[in-house]
Amino acid sequence: MCDLRIVIGDKAYSSWSLRAWLILKMSGLPFEEIKVKLRQPDTAAAIRRYSPSGKVPLLYDGDLRIWESLAIGEYLAERVATPALWPADGEARAVARAVSAEMHAGFGALRRDFPMDCGRREKKSPQGEAATDIARITEIWRHCRATYGQGGPFLFGTFSVADGMLAPVASRFLTYNIPLDRVSGAYRDALLALPAMQEWMRDAAAES
């Protein structure tokens, strides 16, 4: 049995599971995946068997339990030296943490009006607060790519926890065919082209 085990929900719908799973996958560490089917009569009880918060995801490292996506990212960044999961430069690292925290705490209208659904495709125009959320997200993407993204296709060049936190947004933009500027569209495509993201999307499509 692997020391690392991650408890996640349905890959089609669980945006928080995607965040933690993708960061773990990109860490290169071996892990076991435990899935709990969401939206079932026994879902809450099933999750409670693993998670003290009653939510997914949850990471086990041996007997240690970490039950929150951003905390999982921080823990994995401390555990692995290569690949680094935060930017090496102190200024870029501070901005990456700010971006991750803003994503973690905000954008409620986007979450409400454009829920993650990896198997769905429709044209849907953002309105009101959701449009404001999308404008702020793409502002972050353009700023980070222009200021810190010279070393690769991700926000801070190479993949970081911040990219993992934003991966469900890229999925939403694909699902709802959200028009994007050139820089934001290229970043969305870079995230979606990751082999790990492709694996997640295939698994999501295979779910009943």
Amino acid at 26: M
Is it the case that residue 31 has pLDDT exceeding 60? yes
Q: Considering just the CA atoms, what is the radius of gyration of the chain in Å?
A: 16
Burial of 62 (0-12, 13-18, 19+ CB in 10 A): exposed
Whole-angstrom distance, CA of residue 101 vs CA of residue 19: 13
Is it the case that residue 208 has pLDDT exceeding 80? no
Residue 58's DSSP bridge partners are 7
Q: What percent of the chain has pLDDT over 90?
A: 88
Average pLDDT over residues 191-197: 98
Full-model pTM: 0.96
Summarised one tens digit per residue, pLDDT across range 154-171 is 999 999 999 999 999 999
| Mean of all residue pLDDT scores within the chain | 95
Is it the case that residue 2 has pLDDT exceeding 80? no
pLDDT category of residue 1 using cuts at 50, 70 and 90:
low
Q: Are 13 and 159 in contact (CB under 8 A)?
A: no
Summarised one tens digit per residue, pLDDT across range 102-132 is 999 999 999 999 999 998 999 999 999 999 9
